[in-house]
Structure 1
Amino acid sequence: MNHASRLMTALLLAIALMTAASIQHNLAGLSLDSLWEVSPTNWQTLLLQYSWAPRQAVALIAGALLGLSGCLMQQCLRNPLASPSTLGVSAGAQLSLTLATLYAPSLLVIGRNSIAIIGALAAAALALALASRRQFSPLAVVLAGLLLSLYCGAASSALLLMRHDQLASVFIWGGGSLVQNGWQSAQTLALTLAAATLGATVLIRPLSLLSLGEQAASALGVRLGTLRIATLTLAAILSAIVVAEVGVIGFIGLAAPALARLCGCNRFGHQLLWSPLLGALTLWGVDLCLQLVGPISGSQIPTGAVTGLFGAPLLMLLLARLPKLSPQLETNHHQSWHHPHPQALVFGAMAFTILATLAALYSGFGLQGWSLDNGELLPWRWPRVTAAGCAGLLLAASGVIMQRLLANPMASPELLGVSSGAAIGIAVVMIGLGTASLAAQLMGATFGALIALGMIIALSHRVQYQASHLILAGIALTALMEGLAVLMTASGDPRAVALMSWLSGSTYRVSPSLALSCALAAALLLMLVLIARRPLQAIALGDSISRNSGFAPNRSRLALLILVAACSAAATLAVGPMSFVSLMAPHIARQLGAASLQHQLILAMPIGMALLISADWVGRYLIYPWQLPAGLVTTLLGGPYLLWLMLKRN
């Protein structure tokens, strides 16, 4: 028996055992005939027929649809990392449904599926437009999807925080729950699967010809543009309908085609047959596990939250098997111009930071409108401003180091999963260990960041820390950490609500002692960052020059990555995980004309401080009397900027 047969046998055996356990649990005291007998007076029979049985059907059909969608996307783009999750399709569908529920509920009369399809198609079109500048390379596609997913997720979270009373059910649904109270969703998904099977059958031949290469397929009469549009439209519609019926189910679309290839399905026709089957079995198996564990844990965990835990290791496995990626993203972005007076830029950035700090400390909006206070609120404001400024400085410095180290202007600690690792470390200390002491949280953040860093190093060591592999490994690790965060917030613990707000990047919980500790950590780490300029400059010029300068390239890279982890841990401890600050600050410094490492670093740090202080101040008053976490503000502002940046780059 070969490896593929053993894998398939183990999967089927595990699912058979879980099915038997689930039937034993749900059919206790009932016969199998209860599945077909109608007994309005027997509540167990009603629960079996209208809850348990539909849930099994929905899990199977939804998994098959996601597997088919992922298979079509991967074959169309010739990209083993393409899926509804990595392209941002699921996040786009979820955001469109959230907007419709809140601002245009009358549109829901048309049908949730139509609204979800519009959002999914818009997200897919934007992601592919961004990736087209890089010939749909695996890294470009994943980065574009990541940016869209972050932005759509931040927008949904902002709406939830503002209108949590109206969107509480949407939040529960968005977690990807397969709990059913009838057969309507199963019937809708079954009809969709039947129609999708017919559509996929028509596309088998032209998509199979893509395996020969684009030039060969075009010579054989395949219209590549029309084929891609038709295939991706079909795949996005399938994913959108699943989102509309059961919420976001992550990574099944990525896992099913990968499992099919691992089982020996090399031809596209075989993959198209086995991907839906394996997707159905995978989602069904995960849901069966949750049905058995749920009564024991005392909480109903959404199935969609757990699939990310399975998908992230699979993405790491795919990364290990992925051939060396194109070096087109490995070179640094061309510096268009050099500012003749970089010192003036630095003084200007510092002046703007001081103005933003004064505005955050002494101005505000209340019942009488905008006003300047005489310092009465200073004891409550200065810890938040101090923590935001120190975190912005550390994130900006870590972003410059990452971008210079990897020679990639799209690199940042959040892309490498270091910030997520630090956040999960703190979350484990807060909820798992039940302690809120500053020392314990700092220790948790440091261990979390170092564990994340160790996993990144282990995954990328064999390719000498190639930028593309580092970023893809970080994306997989971020997905794993996000899955753990969702499990914690779904645990039913009252502290989960505060944790969710903090995970959005918030300064609400900053105390004076925490603010002073953050300032001290920022001062110490800033000294190390300034010391690290010389080895960073040497590495940026190449390994040979680095050796001639007295710096061992691999050891220097490792030391710099540890420094990035320390900066991210300290910033995360203060304000939670922040998105886009470590990307935006170095970009803005570069656009202003800071060409050298020294000038870019010194200019980016006050820009990072100003960005985060301003984001925290804007979040306090933008939708007064509600407050938005600073992390959501930076994502909502930084997302369009980076999308524009990717479209602008040639």
Structure 2
Amino acid sequence: MTRPELPSSVHAVRAVTILVTALATILAIQSLNAVLPMANWLAAITADLPSSPNELLFMQSALPRLFIAWLSGAALSLAGTVFQQTLRNPLAEPTTLGSSAGAQAALLASLIWAPGLLIHGYGPIAIAGAGLATALVFGIARRGSTTPISMVMAGLVVNLTLATICAIIVLLHPDRSEELLQWQTGRLEQSGWGPARGLFVCLLICALTIVPIRRPLSLFNLGDDAVLSLGLKPNQLRIAALLIALVLSGAVVAAVGIIGFIGLAVPALVRSIGAGRLADRLLWAPLLGGALLVCADQLVQWPTMGGGRLPTGIVASLLGAPVLLLLLKRIRTGISAAPAHSSSRRASTGQLTLPVLVCAFVILLCVAFVIGRGPDGWELTTDIDLILRWRAARIVAAIAAGMLLGIAGMLIQKLTSNPLASPEVMGVSSGATFGAAIFIVAYGTVSVSALLAASTAGGLAVVAVIVTLGWRHRFSSERLLLTGIALSTVVGALSAFLISTGGPVRALLLTWMSGSTYRVTTDQATLVAAIAIASIVLTPLLNRWLEILPLGEPTATALGIDLKLARGTIMLSCAIAAAAATLVVGPASFVGLLAPQLVRQIGFTRALPQLLACALAGATIMLVADWLGRMLIFPWQIPAGVLTSLVGGPFFLFYLWKGQR
């Protein structure tokens, strides 16, 4: 949809920028004065060598950090402005388009497996990764209508998938976890001027490159025909502008890691307070973005904020994510996904397939119990004591977690009428993980019941936010899904911060959050199995709601359904199931997405048979993933959650791509 440029009144933008810059200056002066008294600043700057440790900290740490904070905010704001203008998408920015995650994944992979590629610095690798990830997003979204929500949804799912890959890299190299995790949390600590100098040069070149094309870019508001009227080729102009934005995004990630949502919030703020013309936004967005990030960075250095332990990138994500949620009110949807409730013409196929699924599950269960690998190769084990000691707990836990995730996925898809919804994608699993991670960091070792309570509280907190925001939009399925993905991104960043400050429990957190079952105890397995059995017994009581809700709100109301009670009960059930499953497989699994899709493809359509089949399919997926994780690279193990994520993420993207036709 095209729109003319809004009238521009820069007085308010100028006033806000000056005010924020003044605040940033005051905070920066206070911070620098705490490192070195102001009277000594000039001497420290002009001296060839520092004469004291404080001068060294001032020149090589405090000042570079101040400059790189401003440069990062300015670069991300400029990149976000260019993305939004070029794509005519107010939700476009480096984080929502996957650019930052692509740059991060490329850097982590290069650091571990191809350090020789970094001989010329981090920048080229980060820019290449950003370009590949963004190209994937465009490839998915451009198959059909490139509506703002469809493109951003693809970008955020690419983020989640790449985050799983990054988690694998960190898990395989725990000795370097602290070094690798800095790219996930956006830390601005500096030990020299190199990164700031490189980012300054990049920002300057990109800004100068944008100046001569700013007028043609402004015509994108009127459509490609307006660009053609000037004798220009819109596709070439669009590619040139996107390359500039990608270079800026990759350069920031290479310098400081991921700083979330600044590129979204600042251009939106500048536009909302009066900068309607593109030329004004290109000027004021970088100035305001730099000042805002300086303010955020100075605030996190206050003693009451942990004295700098809280990464600036986390604060930026917490501030920017609400802007994304607010923008959803103004954005039209356009995701065409297959309906979650299809016709009943295939019901008979599902009935015939259920015995086949049961037989397949029993066979795979026997394989998981008795077939394994040892020092002498493959072996068939019939020793009951060995099976009970080493395999029973993890197998039972994997099966129970799979059942719970399958049930939770089916419930949330029925509730939202969206086959792309799942506990993992909607942020419920991430919220449960964050709640449990807080307890682990705070108390080290906690009881299983306390861990379940903490994870349930975290999951319910996310559910409460989703329900509150969804109620205002009459539970639009696309907006619910995007809200969940945004929350999942923010909560994931907070969880990464907890890992980076976890101290002695870091290894436990990394292993657990990756979805490994080899630390599962008998008590945990028993508890999760009990919850799974209770879910299978009690969830059928929701059958009438699950049959009627997908028919739409008017139909449900006409049939006497209490929508508040029905939706609240289903979301509560989903949160408890996801929280219990998270105890053993972590947040990264996508089983809640895969199981309902598989069941629908087989032919189950009615709510109750679909519910039982989803539980069975989820259990089978986790059982196979756990067994393969033990066998593939023996004697090392691949977490079951990681294996299912590597399948689930691409599957989600494929289904989204398929739905764009």
Which TM-score band (shorter chain)? over 0.9
Higher alpha-carbon deviation: 103-112 or 200-209: 103-112
Check the 8 A contact 1:260/1:274 in 2, yes or no.
yes
* Letter paired with 2:32: I
**SS of residue paired to 1:532:** helix
Is 1:370 equivalent to 2:378 in the alignment?
yes
Which runs of structure 2 are paired with 1:129-144 in the superposition (5 Å)?
A: 129-144=139-154
1:478-510 Cα shifts (integer Å, max 9, x gaps): 233223212322324322331232222232332
Question: How far did residue 465 of structure 1 move?
Answer: 1.0
Using the aligned pairs only, state the percent identity: 37
Which runs of structure 2 are paired with 1:494-509 in the superposition (5 Å)?
A: 494-509=504-519
2-side partners of 1:38 and 1:408: how far apart? 64
Check the 8 A contact 1:405/1:539 in 2, yes or no.
yes
1-side partners of 2:109 and 2:11: how far apart? 50
1:452-490 Cα shifts (integer Å, max 9, x gaps): 111111112122111122112212222332232123223
1:185 to 195, 203, 226: 195
1-side partners of 2:72 and 2:230: how far apart? 35
Higher alpha-carbon deviation: 327-336 or 368-377: 327-336
Check the 8 A contact 1:394/1:605 in 2, yes or no.
yes
Check the 8 A contact 1:406/1:466 in 2, yes or no.
yes
Q: 1:491 to 1:104 in 2, by over 3 A?
A: closer
1-side partners of 2:609 and 2:158: how far apart? 31
1:17 to 26, 38, 42: 26
Check the 8 A contact 1:260/1:275 in 2, yes or no.
yes
Which runs of structure 2 are paired with 1:246-285 in the superposition (5 Å)?
A: 246-285=256-295
Is 1:603 equivalent to 2:647 in the alignment?
no
What is the TM-score with the length of structure 2 in the denominator?
0.91
2-side partners of 1:17 and 1:71: how far apart? 27
Q: 1:64 to 1:29 in 2, by over 3 A?
A: closer
1:146-172 Cα shifts (integer Å, max 9, x gaps): 221122121122122223336653333
1:472 corresponds in structure 2 to 482
2:255 corresponds in structure 1 to 245
2:462 corresponds in structure 1 to 452
1:127 corresponds in structure 2 to 137
1:101 corresponds in structure 2 to 111
Q: 1:625 to 1:399 in 2, by over 3 A?
A: same
Question: How far did residue 309 of structure 1 move?
Answer: 2.2
Q: 1:336 to 1:524 in 2, by over 3 A?
A: closer
Q: 1:6 to 1:624 in 2, by over 3 A?
A: farther
Q: 1:267 to 1:329 in 2, by over 3 A?
A: farther
Question: How far did residue 39 of structure 1 move?
Answer: 3.0
1:410 corresponds in structure 2 to 420
**SS of residue paired to 2:378:** strand
Q: 1:174 to 1:572 in 2, by over 3 A?
A: closer
2-side partners of 1:393 and 1:274: how far apart? 52
Q: Which runs of 5+ in 2 are unaligned?
A: 1-9
Check the 8 A contact 1:67/1:256 in 2, yes or no.
yes
2-side partners of 1:112 and 1:226: how far apart? 27
**SS of residue paired to 2:372:** strand
Question: How far did residue 449 of structure 1 move?
Answer: 1.8
* Letter paired with 1:535: W
Is 1:620 equivalent to 2:635 in the alignment?
no
* Letter paired with 1:600: Q
Check the 8 A contact 2:300/2:306 in 1, yes or no.
no
2:179 to 165, 169, 179: 169
Question: How far did residue 4 of structure 1 move?
Answer: 6.3
Which runs of structure 2 are paired with 1:385-404 in the superposition (5 Å)?
A: 385-404=395-414
**SS of residue paired to 2:301:** helix
Question: How far did residue 333 of structure 1 move?
Answer: 8.1
Is 1:485 equivalent to 2:495 in the alignment?
yes
Question: How far did residue 329 of structure 1 move?
Answer: 4.9
2:600 corresponds in structure 1 to 590
2:652 to 642, 645, 648: 642
1:55 to 39, 55, 65: 65
2:219 to 185, 201, 209: 209
Check the 8 A contact 1:361/1:378 in 2, yes or no.
no
Is 1:112 equivalent to 2:130 in the alignment?
no
2:364 to 356, 364, 368: 356
Question: How far did residue 196 of structure 1 move?
Answer: 0.5
* Letter paired with 2:516: S
Higher alpha-carbon deviation: 394-403 or 477-486: 477-486
Question: How far did residue 256 of structure 1 move?
Answer: 1.9
Higher alpha-carbon deviation: 211-220 or 428-437: 211-220
Q: 1:432 to 1:164 in 2, by over 3 A?
A: closer
2-side partners of 1:144 and 1:118: how far apart? 19
Higher alpha-carbon deviation: 416-425 or 430-439: 430-439
Higher alpha-carbon deviation: 120-129 or 521-530: 521-530
* Letter paired with 2:272: L
Q: 1:173 to 1:598 in 2, by over 3 A?
A: closer
Question: How far did residue 10 of structure 1 move?
Answer: 5.7
1:430-449 Cα shifts (integer Å, max 9, x gaps): 22356612222222222222
Question: How far did residue 77 of structure 1 move?
Answer: 1.8
**SS of residue paired to 2:48:** coil
2-side partners of 1:336 and 1:147: how far apart? 31
1:253-312 Cα shifts (integer Å, max 9, x gaps): 122212212332222221111221122112222222233349x83774433333222222
Which runs of structure 2 are paired with 1:507-518 in the superposition (5 Å)?
A: 507-518=517-528
Check the 8 A contact 1:339/1:592 in 2, yes or no.
no
1:581-623 Cα shifts (integer Å, max 9, x gaps): 1111111122223333344333222111111122222223333
1:346 to 339, 354, 359: 354
Is 1:432 equivalent to 2:432 in the alignment?
no
* Letter paired with 2:461: I
1-side partners of 2:281 and 2:490: how far apart? 26
| Number of residues of Structure 1 aligned to a counterpart in Structure 2 | 648
Question: How far did residue 126 of structure 1 move?
Answer: 0.5
Q: 1:333 to 1:11 in 2, by over 3 A?
A: farther
1-side partners of 2:109 and 2:588: how far apart? 24
1:325 to 325, 333, 339: 333
What is the TM-score with the length of structure 1 in the denominator?
0.93
**SS of residue paired to 1:364:** strand
Higher alpha-carbon deviation: 445-454 or 539-548: 539-548
Check the 8 A contact 1:330/1:468 in 2, yes or no.
no
2:311 corresponds in structure 1 to 302
**SS of residue paired to 2:320:** helix
When the two chains are superposed, the root-mean-square deviation of aligned CA atoms in Å is 2.7
Q: 1:149 to 1:458 in 2, by over 3 A?
A: same
2:539 to 529, 535, 539: 529
Q: 1:548 to 1:59 in 2, by over 3 A?
A: closer
Q: 1:12 to 1:191 in 2, by over 3 A?
A: closer
* Letter paired with 1:288: Q
Question: How far did residue 94 of structure 1 move?
Answer: 1.7
Higher alpha-carbon deviation: 335-344 or 96-105: 335-344
Q: 1:472 to 1:130 in 2, by over 3 A?
A: same
1:170-196 Cα shifts (integer Å, max 9, x gaps): 333443222222222222111111110
Q: 1:101 to 1:446 in 2, by over 3 A?
A: closer
1-side partners of 2:18 and 2:272: how far apart? 13
Question: How far did residue 68 of structure 1 move?
Answer: 0.9
**SS of residue paired to 1:264:** coil
Check the 8 A contact 2:413/2:421 in 1, yes or no.
yes
* Letter paired with 1:306: V
1:317-352 Cα shifts (integer Å, max 9, x gaps): 333x42443474595587798375322322222222
Check the 8 A contact 1:346/1:602 in 2, yes or no.
no
Q: 1:335 to 1:366 in 2, by over 3 A?
A: farther
**SS of residue paired to 1:31:** helix
* Letter paired with 1:149: N
